[in-house]
Structure 1
Amino acid sequence: MMTASGWSANQFAALLGAYRAGAGLSDAAVNALLAVYAVGLIPGLLAAAPLSDRYGRRPVALGALALNAVATLLLMLGAGSAFWLAPGRLLTGISAGALLSAGGAWVKELSSPPYAPTGTETVAARRSGVFVSLGFASGGLAAALIAQWAPHPMVLAYLPHLALAALAWGLAQGSPETCPAGAGRTARGTRPLRVARPAFWRAVLPMAPWVFAAPMVGFATLPGLVDGGLRGWEVVYAGVATAVVPGAGVAVQPLARRLILRSRLLTAVAGLLVMAGGFALAGAAATHQQPVLGLVAGAVLGAGYGLVLTYGLGTAAALAAPGGLARLTSYFWSLAYLGMFAPLLLSTLSGGFPMPRLLAGSAVLAVLSCALLVLLNRPRRAGTR
């Protein structure tokens, strides 16, 4: 289910070049459609989390998965009329958000039952991020390959997600409910738990938007800046980029696991500094129109994404109150997905500043965010490391 969520997000991102060429959509239009996903995702996260804490993971996650498939059907209708693309992207965001919060909490609770040793919660939480990243990587690449060579690309490119959603639905039927109805209520049964402690906000606010700002630049913005020498392979290149960026996030997980067991804060610091290096490489790739360097920059950005994602999910798992994991996780995902507006912001600012300079500025901002994170979470503060 988590893989299907990530797949649904990136199958559209890999087709941006095809929509520009085949449907005549402008850069501003496709970047706006990317942002529509985030507009739907954040309320989906925030609404589904308390519902799953109160009524259980299974009904909310399965309902979100069904809506995820409906959203893909609307995107398929967009091949005949661009009118359907906006509602399709909006419902994709809503359903993916619900899957991230309810499904992510379900994965963590199945991976780390109440009798598990203390300290395993951050490792268990990492699993949902890994499977989402696998969906990001495989969904975009599959859609791009179909769009490059198959007939009716704007329809057929979405069929693999429908098959994956159906498979996920069948497999999920065998998973037990981990949060019985009412577990997310107080003893009086009337008011939800307050799960967002100050330590959580200090730990995630400075870094959360970078979680998706970096990979979005890597596979949504950067391919369009280095495609001058691709000569007809733009769609495949975009698909490879959508696989390389989150794929690097998966590949870096052994390192992330070791770092987070040693220190959560060290994991975030490493991730933000790696991202800064990725933005610097992206600026060089855009300046010199180097597609290979663009993929290298995307891989570095993806590695940073994998590190900070592990940190964010681990922090939410470590600080969540009993019965409030889905809600706290949804707060983190909501902040993280603000980064999906990065391509639209860069596109808007590029009217007054060269894109390589904007990417270099992003590297500087990532370093400053790292410094702020360290300042706010120094070891002397209780509840942080």
Structure 2
Amino acid sequence: MRNKWLPAAFLLTAAGWGANQFSSLLGAYQAELGLSEQAATGLLALYVAGLLPGLLLGGPLADRHGRRPVVFGAIVISAAATTALMAGVIAAPWLAVGRLLTGVSTGAVLAAGSAWVRDLSHPPFGTAVEDGVGARRAGVLLSMGFSVSGLVSALIAQWGPGPLVSAYLPHLVLCAAGLALAWACPETRPREVSRGPRRSGVRDPRFRRLVLPVAPWVFVGPTVAFGVLPGLVTADLPGFELVYAGVATLITPGFGAVVQPLARRVARRGERAPAVVGLLAIAAGLALAAIAVWWVLPGLALFADLLLGTGYGFAATFCLTVVGRIAAPSDLARLTAVFWAIAYIGFCTPFAVSLLATFVAPPVLLLALVGLALLTCAAVSARDQTDRDGQQRRRADHIQRLRDAGVL
């Protein structure tokens, strides 16, 4: 099979679908089950509590025992999590169980699946690559599931029978189909692991200077788009709140997937260029979102979602590409897991906004996020200039030493 990476990447789509199918249903749970806004967004954030152990265990397990078994096991857990969410209409505690299991399964798939797709994209398996094609493929297929699931779930919940049960059926179908399609994909874990000294992973300065400050912003944009804005701008759209939330869930991560090839071209202008563009887009989107909330403008909020999606796509592509360059083949899944663990801190944004909204108006909170995004952008840009200056000084010193030695 020529595109061996595609069935494995489809499992990332299934994982992304399972991760976000719940998000556009927050309004339905508040209306049907009487959940408060804090409880609904708390369930959204509870997913992160399961995601972190899934990531931090899934990465090392994939490097030690193989990508394939970890991904397959995680997809089975993802299907079980969806079944628990379906049972939530009978007993609300099942929603917490489902969200926790969804986090665990998604974390494991993100860690092992991203490495698996990258390996399959660059045979011979386990070799290091610099162009980031595998990282972008993983990001695009994940974003597809992440975006489409919200709209499909919302449409089913808006007009389908047994909405809080039937909305989850597509994910079960995707899990079964994905496992069947990926069954023939080979294992790619490197058989021989170099134990010599190396400077990689979280100790690499590029991870601390580039990935660490940008990663939390990856999911700030999408979660504001589908976890914050729909509840604040749909007062004039009675009966279409779920559909609006589904559209927001579609266009934000969906547009993030569309712009990822553009992020690659922007990267030719400098390694940090995609991060700068992404953070500026997130800041602009949050500023427009604040205006949309203040004046209750759902159309403007959707335009803000496009900018937030652009920022998501650029930031995710930037971080995954840098991680792919830093990590040794035997450490790729582990370092990918660390990146996603940091990135998913942004998934708690709606919960934080709902808690702070008691004391501070939501538009003010959104403007505060604008300021933080711009500060992060300034810090990344300043380090870029510092690195360039340092490289120029080292080059000049080297030339001077050659002249002193009479070589030049």
User: Are 2:50 and 1:43 aligned?
Assistant: no
CA drift of 1:206 comes to: 1.2
Pair 202,193 (structure 1): closer, same or farther in 2 beyond 3 Å? closer
Within the candidate set 246, 249, 258, 1:251 is matched to: 258
**Quick check: 1:271–1:307 contact (8 Å CA) kept in 2?**
yes
Aligned to 2:344: 337
CA drift of 1:121 comes to: 3.8
Equivalence map 1:306-317=2 (5 Å): 306-317=313-324
Equivalence map 1:94-113=2 (5 Å): 94-113=104-123
The range that moved more, 111-120 or 97-106, is 111-120
CA drift of 1:71 comes to: 0.5
Separation (CA, whole Å) in 2 of partners of 1:352 and 1:293: 25
Separation (CA, whole Å) in 2 of partners of 1:118 and 1:259: 22
Aligned to 2:406: none
Aligned to 1:202: 209
User: Are 2:299 and 1:292 aligned?
Assistant: yes
CA drift of 1:170 comes to: 0.7
Separation (CA, whole Å) in 2 of partners of 1:171 and 1:192: 37
- Structure 2 unaligned runs (5+)? 1-10, 392-408
Separation (CA, whole Å) in 1 of partners of 2:254 and 2:21: 15
1:165-188 superposed Cα distances (whole Å, 9 cap, x missing partner): 1111011112111115x55x5549
Aligned to 2:181: 171
Within the candidate set 26, 33, 36, 1:23 is matched to: 33
Separation (CA, whole Å) in 1 of partners of 2:127 and 2:109: 27
**Quick check: 2:119–2:127 contact (8 Å CA) kept in 1?**
no
1:115-168 superposed Cα distances (whole Å, 9 cap, x missing partner): 899864412211111111101111111100000001111110000000001111
Structure possessing the higher radius of gyration over alpha carbons: 2
Aligned to 1:126: 136
Pair 118,80 (structure 1): closer, same or farther in 2 beyond 3 Å? closer
The range that moved more, 117-126 or 213-222, is 117-126
1:69-100 superposed Cα distances (whole Å, 9 cap, x missing partner): 00000000001111100010000000000000
Within the candidate set 162, 165, 188, 2:172 is matched to: 162
Q: Match of 1:215, as an amino acid?
A: P
Separation (CA, whole Å) in 2 of partners of 1:186 and 1:123: 24
**Quick check: 1:41–1:93 contact (8 Å CA) kept in 2?**
yes
**Quick check: 2:278–2:315 contact (8 Å CA) kept in 1?**
yes
Within the candidate set 42, 49, 54, 1:32 is matched to: 42
**Quick check: 2:119–2:126 contact (8 Å CA) kept in 1?**
no
CA drift of 1:193 comes to: 9.8
CA drift of 1:264 comes to: 2.6
Within the candidate set 64, 67, 85, 1:75 is matched to: 85
CA drift of 1:198 comes to: 2.5
Q: Match of 1:363, as an amino acid?
A: V
- Structure 1 unaligned runs (5+)? none
User: Are 2:159 and 1:152 aligned?
Assistant: no
Separation (CA, whole Å) in 2 of partners of 1:219 and 1:127: 24
Equivalence map 1:218-367=2 (5 Å): 218-367=225-374
Aligned-residue identity in percent: 50
**Quick check: 2:119–2:125 contact (8 Å CA) kept in 1?**
no
Per the normalisation by structure 2, the TM-score is 0.89
Q: Match of 2:187, as an amino acid?
A: E
Aligned to 2:397: none
Q: Match of 2:201, as an amino acid?
A: V
Pair 192,141 (structure 1): closer, same or farther in 2 beyond 3 Å? farther
RMSD, matched Cα: 2.0
**Quick check: 1:273–1:367 contact (8 Å CA) kept in 2?**
yes
Aligned to 1:7: 17
CA drift of 1:113 comes to: 2.2
User: Are 2:96 and 1:86 aligned?
Assistant: yes
Q: Match of 1:286, as an amino acid?
A: V
**Quick check: 2:228–2:350 contact (8 Å CA) kept in 1?**
yes
